Amino acid sequence: MCGAPDQAVALPPGTDLSKETVLAGRVIAGGEPVGGAFVRLLDGTGEFTAEVVSSASGDFRFFAAPGTWTVRALSRAGNGQYELVAEGPGLHQAEVAVA
């Protein structure tokens, strides 16, 4: 079974961006990356889908599907969210500012 993947910017070997829909990005506060934030992926209806912890450089990553998503981050520096539309497979990026 897979454990939680390393939330670094590089994608795991074998990730096929012509087939997979990857949502990746960074949590920031005042321009600085926020590591250790709890990053929650909510689907188009606001339903929780997944949660990861951002890396020391604030990075996170989800394997999802085309659609409308909200990326919500909780951290000691505050909370914030970002809405994103993935129209098809590929790498979709999000920057979540928390305050």
Partner 1 sequence: MSREDVLVTADWAEQNLDTDGVVFLEVDEDTTAYDGGHLPGAVKVNWTDELQDPVRRDIVTKEQFEALLSAKGVGNDDKVVLYGGNNNWFAAYAYWEFKLYGHQNVVLLDGGRKKWELDGRTLTTDVKDRPKTSFTAAKDADVSIRAFRDEVVDAISAKNLVDVRSPDEFSGKILAPAHLPQEQSQRPGHIPSAINIPWSKAANEDGTFKSNDDLEKLYGEAGYDGSKATIAYCRIGERSSHTWVVLHELLGHSDVKNYDGSWTEYGSLIGVPIELGSGN
Residue corresponding to tokens 């809405």: 83
Give the distance from CA 47 to its chain's centroid: 15
21-29/90-97 β-pairing = parallel
Cα–Cα distance, 14 to 45 (Å, whole number):
31
* Sole binder of partner 1 in the list 18, 30, 45, 88 (CB under 8 A): 45
| Alpha-carbon distances, residue 26 vs 2, 16, 37 (angstroms) | 23, 21, 10
12 near partner 1, judged by CB under 8 A: yes
97 near partner 1, judged by CB under 8 A: no
Quick one: which segment of 26-34, 42-50, 80-88, 91-99 binds partner 1 (CB under 8 A)? 42-50
* Sole binder of partner 1 in the list 24, 25, 26, 40 (CB under 8 A): 40
Residues near partner 1 (CB under 8 A) are: 1-5, 12, 15, 20, 23, 36, 38, 40-41, 43, 45, 47-53, 61-65, 74-76
